[in-house]
Amino acid sequence: MSGPRSVPPGVQEAASLLTNAALQVLNGAAYPLKAARLMTRLVRKPVHSPGAPPGVLTHTGVRKVERVRLRLLEYDAEHLKELEPSSVQEALAARDESLVGWLNVDGLHEPEVLRELRDHFGLHLLAMEDVASVGQRAKLDEYEDNIFLSLPVLSFHKPTMTVEVEQLSLVLGPGWVLTFQEGAGEVLEPVRERLKAAQGKIRGRGSDYLAYALTDAVVDRYFGILEQLGDAAEELEGRVLENPTPGTLLGVNHLKRELLVLRKTVWPLREALGAFARTESDLVSESTQVFVRDVHDHIIQIIDTVETLRDLASGISDLYLSGVGQRTNEVMKVLTVMASIFIPLTFVAGVYGMNFEFMPELGIRWAYPVLLVLMVTLGVSMLVYFRKRKWI
Amino acid sequence: MSGPRSVPPGVQEAASLLTNAALQVLNGAAYPLKAARLMTRLVRKPVHSPGAPPGVLTHTGVRKVERVRLRLLEYDAEHLKELEPSSVQEALAARDESLVGWLNVDGLHEPEVLRELRDHFGLHLLAMEDVASVGQRAKLDEYEDNIFLSLPVLSFHKPTMTVEVEQLSLVLGPGWVLTFQEGAGEVLEPVRERLKAAQGKIRGRGSDYLAYALTDAVVDRYFGILEQLGDAAEELEGRVLENPTPGTLLGVNHLKRELLVLRKTVWPLREALGAFARTESDLVSESTQVFVRDVHDHIIQIIDTVETLRDLASGISDLYLSGVGQRTNEVMKVLTVMASIFIPLTFVAGVYGMNFEFMPELGIRWAYPVLLVLMVTLGVSMLVYFRKRKWI
Amino acid sequence: MSGPRSVPPGVQEAASLLTNAALQVLNGAAYPLKAARLMTRLVRKPVHSPGAPPGVLTHTGVRKVERVRLRLLEYDAEHLKELEPSSVQEALAARDESLVGWLNVDGLHEPEVLRELRDHFGLHLLAMEDVASVGQRAKLDEYEDNIFLSLPVLSFHKPTMTVEVEQLSLVLGPGWVLTFQEGAGEVLEPVRERLKAAQGKIRGRGSDYLAYALTDAVVDRYFGILEQLGDAAEELEGRVLENPTPGTLLGVNHLKRELLVLRKTVWPLREALGAFARTESDLVSESTQVFVRDVHDHIIQIIDTVETLRDLASGISDLYLSGVGQRTNEVMKVLTVMASIFIPLTFVAGVYGMNFEFMPELGIRWAYPVLLVLMVTLGVSMLVYFRKRKWI
Amino acid sequence: MSGPRSVPPGVQEAASLLTNAALQVLNGAAYPLKAARLMTRLVRKPVHSPGAPPGVLTHTGVRKVERVRLRLLEYDAEHLKELEPSSVQEALAARDESLVGWLNVDGLHEPEVLRELRDHFGLHLLAMEDVASVGQRAKLDEYEDNIFLSLPVLSFHKPTMTVEVEQLSLVLGPGWVLTFQEGAGEVLEPVRERLKAAQGKIRGRGSDYLAYALTDAVVDRYFGILEQLGDAAEELEGRVLENPTPGTLLGVNHLKRELLVLRKTVWPLREALGAFARTESDLVSESTQVFVRDVHDHIIQIIDTVETLRDLASGISDLYLSGVGQRTNEVMKVLTVMASIFIPLTFVAGVYGMNFEFMPELGIRWAYPVLLVLMVTLGVSMLVYFRKRKWI
Amino acid sequence: MSGPRSVPPGVQEAASLLTNAALQVLNGAAYPLKAARLMTRLVRKPVHSPGAPPGVLTHTGVRKVERVRLRLLEYDAEHLKELEPSSVQEALAARDESLVGWLNVDGLHEPEVLRELRDHFGLHLLAMEDVASVGQRAKLDEYEDNIFLSLPVLSFHKPTMTVEVEQLSLVLGPGWVLTFQEGAGEVLEPVRERLKAAQGKIRGRGSDYLAYALTDAVVDRYFGILEQLGDAAEELEGRVLENPTPGTLLGVNHLKRELLVLRKTVWPLREALGAFARTESDLVSESTQVFVRDVHDHIIQIIDTVETLRDLASGISDLYLSGVGQRTNEVMKVLTVMASIFIPLTFVAGVYGMNFEFMPELGIRWAYPVLLVLMVTLGVSMLVYFRKRKWI
C-alpha cells in the first residue's frame, strides 16, 4: 500500500515546486509598491484647481525640509561672499550688485518667500508657478528680463533600483542666478566648491556661465545613472542566460519602466538645452553658448544610450521568452516520447491480460520472453527513430 | 460502483470551474455596450448630406437642454453686468460696447439663434457650421475679424471608466468672446466665478485674456482625467500581479481604448494652441500669448503622459500574457511529470497482469514486494531527475 | 461489442466538429476572390509600354458606359444653360464665354474626345494622360493656364464589404471646369442640383468655387464609408466577444485591408488639397481658399479616423487571439486534471491486477472497499489541491 | 501478434508524413542559394581598398560583355546619324556638335575607355568612379558642367522570383548624354526606336528631354515588376487560405525580401528625381522639368505600392501563423477529448480487473452489461458536455 | 525484469539529449562575456566627476601604447618631410609653416602632451576634452580657427564576431591637421603611403583635402565590416534552414547587437559629415566639399545597409521561431495520433481483462481473433481519418 501513499506527497511536492516560481511572480514582493510609485512619478498632479487664476504658488510636491533655507553666494574673479540669510529681505539687503550673485532656495512650501523673490526680481507669474508646482517637463522659457529653466535632477535609489526625479528651477537674470529645489540636494555642491576654490575659469565669467555650470552639474549625474542601469541590464542578461526565473522577467519589466521614466524626463531637456544654446537673448554670451552646446551634445548622447538600453531590454525579454518556449518544447518532447513509447506497449500488455478462454498464444512456452524481447525492441527502435528525427 | 459515479460530477465541476473564467470573458458584462459607444465617439457623423452647400446649421449632436440658454457677461476692471437674455435680439440690444463681453450659448439645436449670431458678429459660414456640427477636431481658424477655436471638453464617467468628449466652440472678436456648448456644462463656471469675484488680473485684461482663461479651464480638467486613468492603470497592474483573470485583460484593453480616445482628442489641440500662441492677429496681445504658451506646454505634458500610459498599458498586457503563459507551462509540466512517471509504471504492472501460462516471475515468493520497491525507486529517481533538470 | 463500435463515430463526430471551423477558414467563401481584386485595386497597371512617349490617351480602366456622354452646364448668378452635346465640337461651339462653364465627360474610352478637349483647352500632354490612365494617386498639378486635380471617388459595396475606388479628374481653368469620370457616377449630381436650384451662393461665384464644391462633394462621401467600416468593426468586436470563430478573424483581416486601401487612397489627398488651399495661382481666389481649407480639415479628420480604426482592428485581432489562447489553456487544464488524477489511480488498479501468486493484500477481506475509498480520497484531494492552486 | 507488428510501420508512416513537411522546409531547395545572392545584392562591395585615392576606375561588378561596345546616336528634328565606333577616339572624331548626341557604353571593364571619356567630357573623378563601381544608391550629383544620375535598372527573374538590380549611369551635358551599362540591356531600346521613328516630340527637344526619356523608360519597367510581385502575393495568399504548407511561409518570406530589395532600391530614387525636377541648372529646361515631375510622381506611386505590398505580405504571414495555431488547437482538443473520455473509463475497467478475492460486484449476474451501459453513458455524456462547452 | 531496468537509461538518455541543446543555451560559452563588453561599448563612462570644471584632459579609455608617439608629416606638391619628434616642443620647433602639416598623436594618457598642443594651436577647452574622453558620438564642432571632428574607427574581431569601436579625433586648422588615436591604429597608414608615394592629387592640395582623405580612409573600412556581418547573416540563415539549434538563435541575437552598435555609431556620422560637406568655414574649399559629399553618400549607403541587415536579422529570428513552432506542432501531432489510437484500444483490452464472472464474450471461440481484427481495423481507420484530415 506504499504505492498509492507515496504518490500524493510526490505530486504535492512536485506541484509545490512548480508553483513556487509562479507564486514568486504573483506575490512579487516589492513590485506592486513600486508600480504605485511609478504612477506618481509619471502622472503630474494638477497644478491648481481647474479654472483657477494662473500664478498660484502652492507647492505641489513633497515637503523635504523643515524650513526654507536661503543661501547667497556672490563673487567675481577676486571676491567671494557667502551668506545664509534668514529671510528674503535680509538676502536682498545684503546683495552687492557689482558681483555675480547666486541665491539658492531649498524648500518650496512657503509661498511668501516665492512671492517676495518674484516681485523683487520681476519674474513672470507663470515662471514662479512652475517653480512651485514641481513635476514640470524640462523647459526653457525666455522672458524679457530673465530666462527660466526647469531641469530634472535624477538620482538612483539602489535598493529598489528606482530612478527618482526632482525638479531644479533656475532663473538667469543679468548678473544673478536663482535656483530652487525641494530639498537640500547635493547636486549643486560641486559648483559651489569650484566657486570657493576658484577652480577653472568660473569665477572670471558672468552669471550665464554659472547657469551653464549648474546645468552641466545636473546633466553629468545622468551618466552615472545610465551606468547603473546598464549594469542592471547586464546582470539581468546574465541571469536570463544562466538561471532564468519569472522574477528575472519582472526585473526586465522594471528596468524597462525606469528607462521609460528616464526617457520621458530627458527627451524634453534636449529641446530646452537646444533653445539655451541657440538663444539670442543678451543674457547669454556666445562664448558661454559653446559650452551649452557641449551639454546639449551630452544630452543627445544620453538619449542615444537610453534608446539603446531600451532595445537591449527588449532583447533580454525576447531571450527570456524564447528560452522559456524552448524549455516548454523540451518538456513536451519528453512527454511525447514517453507516451508514444509506452502507450502502445501498455496496449499490448493489456491484450494479453484479457480473459478470453481461447487465446492460443497464452499457452505457448516461449510466448512471454519472446513478447518481452519484442516489446523492448519496439521501444528501442522508436527511441532510435525519434533520435533520427532529431526530436530527442 | 461509487468510482464511476464520482467521476462525472468531479469532471463537471472541474470543467465548470475552468470555463467560468471563459464565460466571464464571453458575456463580458458592460464591454460590448461600451464598444458600441466607442464607435460613436470615434467616427464623426457626416456633417451634411454629401454635396450640400456649406454653412448648414443643423446640430449633429445630442440635444441636452430643453431650450437654448443665453448668458451675457460684460465687464471691465470696475464694472460687471450679468444678463440672461431670452433672445439673441435682447442680448445684442443690451450689449455695452465699452465693456468686454462674453456671450455663452448652451444648446445648439435652434439654427435660428446661430444664424442671428453669425450675421450680427460677421462670423464665417464655415465657422458657424463647425459650431453646429459638433465632433470637430480641435482647431483654430483665423478669419479676418475673429478667431474660431474648437476645444474638446473631457469628462470622466467613473462607473463605466469612460472618457466623454464634448465640443466647446469659442469665437474671439475685438472686445467680445462667444462660447457655444451642447449643454450647460460646468467647465466654464470657475472662470465666471473669477470674473465675478474680480480674482486675479482677469477683469483688467481684454477679451483675448478671457479666451485664454476659458481655454486654460478646459485644459486643466485633462490632468484630473489622466490621474484617474493612471489610478485605473495602477489598479489593473495590481490585479495582474495578484489575481489575473481574463476580465483583467479586458480591463486593460478598455484602458487602452480610452487612452486612444484621449490621444485622438488631445493631439490636434497641440497644433491649435501652438497656432494660438504664435498668431500674429491683432486680436491677441503679446502678453496674453505668454499665457497661451503655458497652456500649450500643459498640452505637451498631457500628450507625453498619454503616450507613457499607453506604453504602460502595453506593458501590463505583456505581463498578463507572460503570466498566463507561465501558468500554462507549469500545468504542462505537472502533466508531463505525472504521465512520465506513471505511464511506464502502469506498463510494468500491465506486463505482470498478462495471462501467459509460463511467466516464471509470477511464482517467485518475493517478486511482488521486490517489484513494488523497484517501482517506487523508479518513480522517485525520475522525480529526482526531473528536479535536477529544474523541470519541477 | 458496443464499446469499440461506439468509439469511431464519436471520434469522427468530434473530429468533424473540430475541423468544421478549420474548413470554413480554408474554403473561406468569398475571400480569395476579394484578395484577387485587392491586388487590382492596389497595384496600378503600367500606364503605357515602358519607353513609349508620354501623352498616350488610352484608357487603362474599365469601360463602364456604351458611349462617351458630354454634359455642359453654363451659369452665372442670373442665367443657367444645360446642354448634352453629341460631340466635342458641338459643345465648344455652344460655349458662352461670359458664363462659368462646366463640361462633364462620362466615359474615357474614346481617345479622340480627350485629344480634342486637350487641344482646345490647352491642357498639358501629361495632364490628359493622367485623365485616361485612371488609378492615379490623388494629386494636384499646377500648369500655367489651368490646375489639374485627380480625386479618388470612393463607394462601398456592402455585400462584399469592399471599398471601390474610381478616379475623378478635374481641370480648373479661367471661367471653366472640366470633369472626367469612367462612368456616369452620381457623386457630382448634388452639385448639379444646387446649381439648378440656385441653392447657396454657388451661382454667384466663379469656377474656382465650383471646383471646390465638386471636391467637397467627393470628400463628403468618405464620412459615410468610414461610418460603415466603423459599424463593421463594431459588429466584428461583438462577435469576438460573444461567439468568436475563425471566420471572425478573417473578417477582421478583411476590414484591415479595406482600411489599408482607404489609407493609401486618402493620404495623398491631404497633400493635394493642402496645395489647393495654399496655391498662389490667379485661378483660385482667397475667399474660395477658406472653403478649400475646410475640405482639407475634413481630410485630416478622415485620416485620423482611419488610423484610429486601424488601431481598433488590431485591438480586435489581439482580443481574438488572446481569447483563443485562453480557451486552449482551459482545454489543456482539463486534460491535465483528468490525466493527473486518473493515471495514478489506473496504475494502482494495474498493480492489483497483476497475477503474482503471493500478493497478500488480495486475500484480505476489506482490502477492495478500503482501496476504493483510498482511491476516491486520493482523487478528491488532488481535485482540492488543483483548485487551491487555482488551476481549475 | 499482428498487433505489435502493425504499430511500428503505422508510426513510421505517420511520423514520416509529419516530418515530410518539415524536411521540405529544412532542405528548402533553392532558398539558401537565393539567400546567398541576396547578400550580394544588398551589401555593396567596397569600392576600392580603404584609404586608396578616389577616382579609381576598376569595374566592381560582373563582366557581361566580351568587349566594350560604343553606340553613338546624333539627331535634331531633321537629322539622325547612328554610328558604332570601335574606339572612343573614333566616336569623338565623328561627333557633330550641332546635333544632340547620345553615346551609350555597354561594358565597364576597360578603364581606358572610361578615362578617355572622362577627360574629354570633363567629368568629375568621383562621377566616373561611380560609373565603374556599380551598386551605387540611386543619386543625382550636380557638377558645374554636367549632371550625373545613377539609376537602378530592375528586371524580374521569374523562375527564382528574384528582382535583379543593374546600374545605369547617365551623364547629362550641354547637347549630349552619356549612358553606361554593364551589359547590352534592352531597357533603352524603346527610346532608341522612338528617336529613329521620330515618334512623339523627342527629336525636337534637347539633351535634357533625352535624359528624361531614358529615365522614364527605366522607371516604367518598375510597374511591371510590381505587378508580378503583386501576382505572387495573390497566389501565396490563395495557397495560405487553401493549402498552407511550411513552403508557403518560406515563399512569403522570400516575397518580403524581394520587396525589401525593391524598397532599398527605389527609395533613394525619389530623392534623386526630386532633385532632378527641382534643379536650377541651365542644363535642364523648365518644360522638361514638368515631365521629370511626372516620373517623380510615378516613383512615389511605386513606393506607395511597395509599402502596401509589404503590409500585405505581413498580413499573409499572420494569416498563415494564425491558421497553424488554429490547427494545433484543434489537434490538441481531439487529444483532450479522447484522453478525457477514455482515461477514466480505462480506470474503471482496471478496477474490475483487480484480483482481490472479495469483490462482490464480480459475482453479480447483470454487473457486466450494466457497467458497459454505464460506461457508454458516461462517455456520451462527456461528449455532450464538451460539445455544449463548444470544445468540439 | 529487463523491462523496468531498460526504461530509466532510455529516459535518461532521451532527457539528456533533449536538455543538451538547452544547456548549450544556458551555459552559452562566450556570450555572457560579450554581453558584459557590450555594456562597456554602449554606455559611455562619465567624462569627469559631476560638477567638475570642463576641459579635463584625463584619458577615459584604455591605455594601448607604452608612451605617446608623435609623428609629423609635412608636404607640398614638391617636398615631403617626415619626423618622429620625442616631444611636443620638438615637433613645434621643427614645423615648417609653408608646408601642409599633419601631426599624428598615438596615445592619449599624457595630459601634458594634450595641453601643450591645445595651447599652441589654440584649440577649445571642450575640443581637447573630447579628444581625451573617448567614446564620443561622431560629431563636427566648428570653432573660430579650426574644425573638430570625432570619427569612430571600426574594426571587426572575427573570433568573437564583435565590432570594436575606437575614436579618432581630427582637428583641421589652416595648413595643418592634428589626429589623435588611443593606439597606433593602422587605419591612417594608407593615406601616409599615398602622401609618400605622391599618389593621386593629394600632395597638391591643402589641409582640408588631407582631412577628407583621412575621413574617407576611416569610412572605407566600414564597407568591409558590413561585408563580414553580411556573411555572418548569410551563414546564420543557412543554419536556420538546415540545422537550427538554440545556439543559432543566440547567434542571430548577437548579430542584432553588433548591428545595434554599428547603427548607434554610424548614424551620428551622417550628420557630422553632412555638416562637413555644407560648412561655410574658410578652412574647407568648395572643391574639397565635393569629395566630402561623396563620403557622406557612402555613410548613407552604409546606414541603408545596416537597416537592411537589421530587417534581415529579424527575418532570420522569425524563421527560426516559426521553424521551432512547426516542429513542436509535429511532435504534438505524433503524441495526439498515438494517444488517440491506443487509448481507446487499451480501454477495450481493459474491458476484457475485467474479472466479472458472467461475461459471455469471453467464452466464445472466435471472440479473441475477431476482437484483434476489429482493433486493427479501428486503429487503421483512425490513421486513415487523421491522414484525410491532413493531421499526419
pLDDT mean over D282-300: 94
CA of B110 to nearest chain A CA: how many angstroms apart?
Answer: 29
List CB contacts (< 8 A) between D350 and chain E: 350, 353
With contact defined as 3+ CB pairs under 8 Å, the chains touching B are: A, C, D, E
Query: Does residue C264 register a pLDDT over 60?
Result: yes
Neighbouring chains of C at 3+ CB pairs under 8 Å are A, B, D, E
State whether E15 and B348 contact (CB < 8 Å).
no
Query: Which of helix, strand or coil describes residue A169?
Result: strand
- Residues E146, E121: Cα–Cα separation, whole Å: 9
Residue A243 confidence (pLDDT): 79
Q: What was the pLDDT predicted at E318?
A: 85
Interface membership of E122 toward A (CB under 8 Å): no
- Percent of chain D residues past pLDDT 90, beyond the cut: 51
More confidently predicted of A186 and A279: A279
Q: What is the DSSP string of C224-249?
A: HHHHHHHHHHHHHHHHHHH---HHHH
pLDDT at C282 over 50: yes
List pLDDT tens digits, range E189-241: 999 999 998 877 899 999 999 999 999 999 999 998 998 898 888 888 888 88
Cross-chain Cβ contact D4/A389 below 8 Å: no
| Chain A neighbors of C381, CB-CB under 8 A | 8
**Residue of A352, A378, A384 best to disrupt the D interface, most CBs of D under 10 A:** A378
CB spacing of D353 vs E350 below 8 angstroms: yes
Query: Which member of C336, C344, C392 has the closest CB to residue B342?
Result: C344
Considering CB atoms only, which of E4, E15, E19 is closest to B374? E4
CB contact under 8 A, C291 and B363: no
ipTM of the complex model: 0.80
Cβ distance E380 to D10 less than 8 Å, yes or no, reads yes
Of E3, E15, E19, the CB nearest to B348: E3
Residue D349: which of E248, A102, C267, C349 has the closest Cα?
A: C349
Instruction: Please state, rounded to an integer, the average pLDDT across all residues of chain C.
Output: 84
Interface residue C11 vs chain E (CB under 8 A): yes
Cβ-defined contact of D54 to E309 (cutoff 8 Å): no
Q: Does D374 touch chain B (CB under 8 A)?
A: yes
Closest residue of chain D to B8, computed from CA coordinates: D378
With contacts defined as CB-CB under 8 Å, which chain A residues touch D8?
378, 381-382
Q: Give the tens place of pLDDT for each residue, A312-339.
A: 898 888 888 888 777 777 777 888 888 8
Least confident of A247-256, D86-95, D209-218, E299-308: A247-256
Give per-residue pLDDT as tens, D328-372.
Answer: 777 778 888 888 889 999 999 999 999 998 888 898 989 999 999
Question: What's the pLDDT tens digit per position in B58-82?
Answer: 888 778 888 899 999 999 999 999 9
pLDDT value at A30 more than 80: no
Say whether residue A13 is in contact with chain B using an 8 A CB cutoff. yes
Cβ contact (<8 Å) for C4 and E378? yes
pLDDT of C6 over the 50 cut:
no
Give yes or no for E380 touching A (CB within 8 A).
no
Q: A31 and chain B: CB distance < 8 Å anywhere?
A: yes
pLDDT higher for E349 or C329?
A: E349
Query: Hey, what's the cell of C28?
Result: 473561406
Residue % of chain D over a pLDDT of 70: 87
- Residues E381, C8: C-beta atoms closer than 8 Å: yes
Chain C residues touching residue A331 (CB < 8 angstroms): none
User: CA-nearest residue of chain A to E321?
Assistant: A322
Structure confidence at residue C323 (pLDDT): 81
Contact residues on chain B for E353, CB-CB shorter than 8 A: 353
- Å from E49 to nearest chain D CA? 38
**pTM score:** 0.83
Which residues in chain A are contacts of E375 at CB distance < 8 A? 351
Q: Which of residues 174-203 of B touch C (CB under 8 A)?
A: none
CB C15 to CB E385 under 8 A? yes
Set of chain C residues whose Cβ sits within 8 Å of the Cβ of A12: 385
pLDDT recorded at residue A32: 36
Pick from D347, D361, D389: CB nearest B15 = D389
Query: E243 contacts in D (CB within 8 Å)?
Result: 26
Contact C375 A15 (CB under 8 A): no
Binning chain C into helix, strand and coil, the percentages to the nearest 5 are: 60, 15, 25
**Backbone angles phi and psi of E363, in degrees to 5:** -90, -10
| Interface contact flag, E12 B375, Cβ < 8 Å | no
Using a CB-CB cut-off of 8 Å, the residues of chain B touching E11 are 340, 344, 382, 385
Which residues of chain B neighbour D325 with C-beta distances below 8 Å?
A: none
Best of E2, E6, E7 to mutate (most B CBs within 10 Å, chain B) = E7
Dmax over Cα atoms in chain D, in whole Å?
122
| Residue of D6, D11, D347 to mutate for A, most A C-beta atoms under 10 A | D11
- Do C168 and C90 meet the contact criterion of CB atoms below 8 Å apart? no
Q: Chain A, 323-342: which have a CB under 8 Å from a chain E CB?
A: 323, 325-327, 329-330, 332-341
Chain B, residues 135-174, CB within 8 A of chain C, namely 136-137, 139, 141, 143
- CB-CB under 8 Å, A342 with B216: no
Amino acid B8 reads: P
* Weakest mean pLDDT among C192-206, D237-251, E71-85: D237-251
Q: What is the mean pLDDT of residues C200-204?
A: 85
Write the pLDDT tens digit of every residue in C119-154. 999 999 999 999 998 888 899 999 989 999 999 999
Which chain E residues are Cβ-neighbours of C1 within 8 angstroms? 361, 374
What is the nearest CA distance from A233 to chain E, expressed in angstroms? Answer: 8
Q: Which chains touch A (3 or more CB pairs under 8 A)?
A: B, C, D, E
- Out of D193, D293, D350, the one facing C349 most closely (by C-beta) is D350
Chain C residue numbers touching E340 (CB-CB < 8 A): 11
Query: Which of D3, D11, D19 lies at the smallest CB-CB distance from A351?
Result: D3
* Cβ-nearest to A348 among D4, D11, D353: D4
Buried b (16+ CB within 10 A) or exposed e, E134-168: bbbbbbbbbbeebbbbbbbbbbbeeeebbbebbbb
Three-state DSSP string of chain D: CHHHHHHHHHHHHHHHHHHHHHHHHHHCCCHHHHHHHHHHHHCCCCCCCCCCCCCCCCCCCCCCCCCCEEEEEEECCCCEEEECCCCHHHHHHHCCCCCEEEEEEECCCCHHHHHHHHHHHCCCHHHHHHHHCCCCCCEEEECCCCEEEEEEEEEEECCCCEEEEEEEEEEEECCEEEEEECCCCCCCHHHHHHHHHCCCCHHHCCHHHHHHHHHHHHHHHHHHHHHHHHHHHHHHHHHHHHCCCHHHHHHHHHHHHHHHHHHHHHHHHHHHHHHHHHCCCCCCCHHHHHHHHHHHHHHHHHHHHHHHHHHHHHHHHHHHHHHHHHHHHHHHHHHHHHHHHHHHHHHHHHHCCCCCCCCHHHHCCCHHHHHHHHHHHHHHHHHHHHHHCCCC
